[in-house]
């Protein structure tokens, strides 16, 4: 059992979109970074905890709790010439990019990035390191516990 933070632009897929989806589950597609892909391919397991993070928006932050809901499978968008995520070097025989399914589990309050930065318990998070741009990053048990506590308590 591991924990992850996964970034999504809410204009594309928000946590509310996941809640409204059938079975509260969506395919996590469009990852085009090898390190993030390798996390999905090599380290994720069904049931792993996911912090659903909203990036590139007015108030970036953790929007909800989710979980990994499938094993990895080829990301369909890499084969679609019409897709923004099309990869001409990917073939059905040799897919380059993968997806996993993600299921919404719990919506706490919205936890803004500014509040995470101000919390000493979270200062080692990969997300918060200078220059860190990884769209999928590992979260420790301690960081996970601290964030769940913040999500479940009222605004401070």
Partner DNA sequence: GCCAACGTTGGC
| Residues binding DNA (CB under 7 A) | 7, 32-35, 55-57, 60, 113-114, 117, 130-135
Closest distance between DNA and the C-beta of residue 108, in Å? 19
Closest distance between DNA and the C-beta of residue 20, in Å? 23
CA distance 7 to 143: 16
- Sorted by sequence, the CB contacts under 8 Å of residue 48 that are 6+ apart come out as 1, 2, 3, 4, 67, 68
- Comparing CB distances to DNA, the nearer of 37 and 103 is 37
- Comparing CB distances to DNA, the nearer of 105 and 128 is 128
- Comparing CB distances to DNA, the nearer of 91 and 132 is 132
Closest distance between DNA and the C-beta of residue 58, in Å? 8
- Sorted by sequence, the CB contacts under 8 Å of residue 125 that are 6+ apart come out as 5, 116, 137, 139, 143
74 and 98 in contact (C-beta within 8 Å)?
yes
- Comparing CB distances to DNA, the nearer of 27 and 113 is 113
């Amino acid at each position: 059992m591991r924990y992850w933070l996964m970034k999504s632009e809410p204009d594309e897929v928000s946590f509310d979109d996941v809640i409204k989806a059938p079975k509260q589950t969506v395919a996590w597609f469009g990852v085009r970074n090898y390190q993030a892909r390798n996390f999905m391919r090599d380290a994720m397991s069904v049931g792993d905890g996911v912090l659903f993070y909203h990036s590139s928006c007015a108030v970036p932050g953790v929007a909800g709790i989710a979980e990994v809901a499938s094993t990895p499978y080829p990301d369909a968008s890499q084969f679609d010439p019409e897709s923004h995520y099309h990869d001409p070097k990917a073939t059905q025989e040799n897919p380059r990019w993968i997806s996993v399914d993600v299921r919404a589990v719990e919506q706490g309050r919205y936890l803004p990035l500014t509040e995470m930065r101000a919390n000493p318990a979270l200062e080692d998070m990969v997300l918060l390191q200078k220059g860190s741009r990884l769209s999928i990053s590992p979260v420790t048990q301690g960081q996970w516990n601290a964030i769940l506590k913040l999500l479940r308590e009222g605004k401070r």
